[in-house]
Amino acid sequence: MSTPLLLAASSGALSTLQCLIELGADVLRSDQLGNNVIHLAALRCHANVLEFFSAWQQPQVDVWLLLVGRSSSTR
């Protein structure tokens, strides 16, 4: 199931994404296919969202590890 945060990430709506995080949205949620905010932003080439999460430096949302992990699991 998609959440407002997942929809914001997949559409590149950075200001909406930031607002939802400030309001307590769960950044660890995944959709029915296992995609999280990082995966959805990357799949749709939303560099602004990926840059935000990289700069945010939260260990649970490590852009590099999540993308490499996803890439490794799809081989």
Q: What domains, with CATH codes, occur in the chain?
A: 4-68 (1.25.40.20)
**pLDDT tens per residue, the chain (75 residues)?**
799 999 999 999 999 999 999 999 999 999 999 999 999 999 999 999 999 999 998 878 878 787 777 655 554
Q: Which residues of 24-53 are buried (b: 16+ CB within 10 A; e: fewer)?
A: ebebeebbeeebbbbbbbbeeebeebbebb
0.75 exceeded by pTM: yes
